[in-house]
Chains A and B, each alone.
Chain A
Amino acid sequence: MNCIIIDDEAMARAIVEQFTIENKNLTLDAEFSDAIQAIKYLNQNQTDLIFLDIHMPTFNGFELIQTLKNPPKIILTTSDRNFAIEAFEYDCIVDYLVKPISRERFDKSVNKVLSINKSTQPSLSSKNEEINQENEKFLYVNIDRRLIKIDIPTIYLIEAKGDYILIKTTSKNYTVHSTLKKIEEKLPNDLFLKIHRSYIINTKQIIDIEDNSVLIEKDVIPVSRSNRPELMKRLNLL
């Protein structure tokens, strides 16, 4: 879990920092002595967990929570036991650590967050995986110093042309300075297949196959003898 520490007291930050370093489930991304700086950070970055002091100048811990649209899990760290009831009015507050914090109590608190995350929502790393999966649907190509987004499933053919490749999509063609090998690495294996040393095709867009060629959109593409068995394997033959 990624975490941050917000506490105006350096001593308190140093102790929690040491505990986060020692806990293999935590990665400390940042620490803040000032709530405003922390809010700015949280508006631009995601985190799984905040160790948050209640008593701070300008903004106290509860006010900070109220500024967050989707607060992550929060463990309060405080010298004051009197806020415990208020603390549990916030769904995001998982635990309440009274200073001075012991290592055992700290680890217990982190385990509590871990078990809640397991049973309820995906962690930041899972969210990153989702983002990566989403990114895999697109490919960015560099044309005239511009990065152009191409929707991968719309690509039906890629043809090698010397130092360039011609990417044909159902709506537009793109000539890009690259190689078939490089683009092949970026494409999903279950969708694309190299059927000839100069051609990669989207197997889902094949219209028909005749002897040693395939018809895809309006292009007839040769299939090399060595690639034909793999192509036939991919087809849902009757």
Chain B
Amino acid sequence: MKRQSRAGSRLLIGLMFLFLYAPIVLLIIFSFNAGDSSAVWKGFSLHWYTKLFQNRLIMESVYTTLLVSLLATAIATVAGTFAAIGLYSLGRRRREALLTVNNIPMMNADIVTGVSLCLFFVAFFQGWGAFARWFNSIQSAVVLPDRLVLGFTTLLLAHISFNIPYVILNVAPKLRQMDRNLMDAAQDLGCTWMQAFWKVMLPEIKPGIVSGALIAFTMSIDDFIISYFTAGSASSTLAMAIYGMTKKRVTPEVNAISTLLFLSVLALLVISNVKEARQESRDRRGIVRRPSALDRLRQKLAEPRFRWVRRGAAGALACAFLASVAFLSHATGSRPVVNVCSWGEYIDEDLIIQFEEATGIRVNYQTAESNEALYSLLKSGGADYDVVVPSDYMIGRLIAEDMLEPLDYSQIPNFSLIDDRFKNLSYDPDNRYTVPYTWGTLGIIYNTEMVDEEITSWGALYDGKYAGNVLLINNSRDALGEALMYLGYSVNTTDPAEIRQAYELVADANRRGVFQGRVMDEVFQKMEGGNAAIATYYAGDYLSMVDNQADGVDLAFVVPEEGSNWFVDAMCVLKDAPHYDAAMEWINFIASTEANLANMDYIWYASPNRVALEQYPAYYEELYGEELDPEVYEIMAAPPETLERCEAYVNLPAETLNLYNTLWTQLGID
């Protein structure tokens, strides 16, 4: 009877694990995918694992993640344990008050914690800057740095601060269970206070400390938002790198690195489990293991006369650690650097290495999630990037708000290679701030297996013929822009009536259940897998979808007859950029024909470099030994007659932006 009930419960526990692990198994399987997709299987390959180790961005972010998580966990565990002990010797009333404050970080949305910490750090840095300048002016013996920026230290502090509560919460119950008289008894029996602490209290609360450390470590590894706002421009964690990819495609490389991390943790757990299980069965059978050499050494060291050896060793270890951290930060700090913030999967990474080898300038390449996320980070003062690569309308906004530094075009001779079509555009009419990076068009992507006509109009999004299978693009500018174009208005209209009319068109379709969902990069997975019939996205991304479409899916792309948006992403330099000259070198390098060809081949977005654009078909043929399909080239780099129909976005006045936001939020609420 008893046995039977246990089998039943084990079955249910097993089902729960199936639920927990099904998606993970899937993730691991797709790390071996030959295609770029995380949803459509294209055959087995180890390709992503080999690529992974060449991918410096991911490897560096893994290193940062592990380092910050380990350090933060170690510090938070020690600090949290002592704090918990301290809290438990306070009176009950005070303890409760403090524990409530302790819980606050967990009750707060991560993003609020992240933003407020960022604001706090920035305010502190400003105060410090003022103090340092004053201090440096009254004496000359010590020179304090007067410009502090977000970086690894602030990232670490933030992680420590959200880890400590978890440690306390895990240690606290053990302290509550512990008999308070134990410590007194130990001391009555002749222990010093220190000995009582080490020999009585610590072993008693050890399980709590271990599980607290484990949870803290896991939280650190998984955190994105708090890191994003506190890491500044010099370091990025793996989670940040993954989120940075969501403007484009999340590549299976991150599946591969996650698989490796996951398996190594699994291996560690299995080893420690097996070890403990063995120990336990030995204990049960009463077998006493003969002490090994290591054990004897440990015992010997534990003797009081070796106390100084122990302390010295601990001190030496700590010093060595501090020295190595200082050395690392010095080593990376002494080389000239340039801080670049772009989008994930938006550069052929070989270019970074080539640039570093050619110039000796180190590139800190970070990624942001979207134009808006970048804007908010810049606005809160949390970044000291030199070069950013926003889209046209955001550049207009940055210029309008005086956040960009004019470029020194005498240092960017390659600017002359940029096609005149991409100079002096509306967001930067005198072309003082920007060098274009890529350009492309927005269009309709549809699955010809599900749509049996040729789509030529934006109307296909709204007419309800494909109800439940249409994906609306999840950003207000594009989604309402499409409706504006369908209605024959300008995408840059500021007339509230026109915008409201466009909104009504979208909202009405939404109410009728036309849209399956609102998507950004999820569009890849949905369209490639044949989960939706129609979506709107960018031309370059369409090409990468075609590469990865599943059997029974046949995608087509069209720039609708009513016209569309064409966009430019351009490199700009932020106001007061700390490495202005290095930034000029980087921009000049990326504007070169070779870099543009490499990028065009890697990301499928058209190049603004006249020569590269012309040469690309030949470059492709040389590289792959086959001719580039002219249709593909035409989609990539829309011909002039298509571009004539298209309009670029310009920065809208504040009240129009507000209207967009209100309406967009409204759509989510309806």
Q: Do A and B come from one complex?
A: no
Residues of chain A whose beta carbon lies under 8 Å from any beta carbon of chain B: none
